[in-house]
Amino acid sequence: MTFDIVIPARYASTRLPGKALLPIADKPMVAWVWERAMQAGARHVVIATDDSRIADEMTARGAQVAMTRGDHASGTDRLAEVVDQLTWPDDTVIVNLQGDEPLMPLENIQRVAAMLAETSSADIATLMEPLDRAVADEPSIVKVVASETGRALYFSRAAIPAHAAGREAAPLFRHVGLYAYRAGFLRQFVTWPPASLELSESLEQLRALAHDVHIQIELAPKPVPAGVDTEADLEAVRAHMASGG
């Protein structure tokens, strides 16, 4: 199986400015992500950034860097620009590994690529994890409902499926924001305007569902540690790595 990895890395993070270059042990966070990606067996691993500080740091470490525009609304738009810059064929499988996921297990990266390669009808593959209903109302946790065949039916910040009084509660699942796409789909996706569902929930994957795109989803092979969104997240990852994790 052949696949590529693109790591979108922005400097201007709202909640944690400059987080891509914040140090964890002896190197910046994005370098940890890149090193993990390099172990996954991809054909190419590309850092996609609009910031020269990130580009200079990662080029010096031997990474392939694609400089992208600074006005992209999302990481998916940035991926689409990389696809066009590198003229990758439409059937290229691309894993989008976020630059703030230094602990993402290799098995998950490899599996999401394999899922897309195995499912010819799908244009997107992604992962999920079981979720405790006690935290289901937290809007920062994205929930997903899937069919019996592993096709994503809906994503929401609300607790779905709902639990009707007197009924047995169905299991809940958290969406893991690790994606694999086909290059041709990315080229098409960025031509669509944001969908009303997407705008309502602030979830970009709902644009794909609004266009009847097949999103294949399954349980992550390995538990997914939290990414880095806040200073507390950063300190937790630093502590984890310092302990040998």
* pLDDT tens, residue by residue, 140-169: 899 999 999 999 999 999 999 998 888 888
Nearest to 203 by CA among 212, 190, 194, 192: 194
What local confidence, expressed as pLDDT, does residue 233 receive?
Answer: 85
Q: What is the pLDDT of residues 201-212, one digit of tens each?
A: 999 999 999 999
Which CATH number do you get for residue 229?
3.90.550.10
Q: Check residue 141 and give its pLDDT.
A: 92
Q: What is the mean pLDDT of the chain?
A: 93
User: In this structure, is residue 127 part of a structural domain?
Assistant: yes
Predicted local confidence at residue 1, as pLDDT:
81
For 33-50, what is the mean pLDDT?
Answer: 96
Cβ atoms of 36 and 126 within 8 Å: the answer is no
Longest Cα separation, the chain: 61
**CA nearest 203: which of 154, 161, 160?**
154
Instruction: List the single range of 101-110, 118-127, 158-167 with lowest mean pLDDT.
Output: 158-167
Q: Count of residues for the chain?
A: 245
Q: Is residue 231 part of a domain?
A: yes
Percent of the chain's residues with pLDDT above 90: 76
Percent of the chain's residues with pLDDT above 70: 99
Structure tokens belonging to residue 186: 């990315």
Token pair listed for 140: 């920062």
Nearest-10 Cα torsion for 197, 203, 208, 211: 10
Residue 39 located in a structural domain: yes
How far, rounded to the nearest angstrom, does the alpha carbon of residue 136 sit from its chain's CA centroid? 20
Query: Looking at the domain assignment, is residue 243 inside a domain?
Result: no
Number of domains comprising the chain = 1
Task: Give the long-range contacts of residues 48-52, CB within 8 A, separation 24 or more.
Answer: 48/6, 48/7, 48/8, 48/9, 48/78, 48/79, 48/81, 48/82, 49/8, 49/9, 49/10, 49/11, 49/20, 50/10, 50/11, 50/78, 51/9, 51/10, 51/11, 51/12, 51/20
Question: Are 29 and 228 in contact, with CB atoms under 8 Å apart?
Answer: yes
* 241 in any annotated domain: no
Q: What is the pTM of this model?
A: 0.93
**Domain extent for 210:** 4-236
Q: Is 245's pLDDT higher than 70?
A: no
Strands 172-182 and 124-131: antiparallel
Tally Cβ neighbours within 10 Å of residue 176. Answer: 22
Residue 65, domain member (yes or no) = yes
Residue 8 lies in a domain: yes
pLDDT band at 76 (very low <50, low <70, confident <90, very high): confident
pLDDT of residue 239: 86
Pick from 75, 68, 119: nearest CA to 97: 75
129 falls within a domain: yes
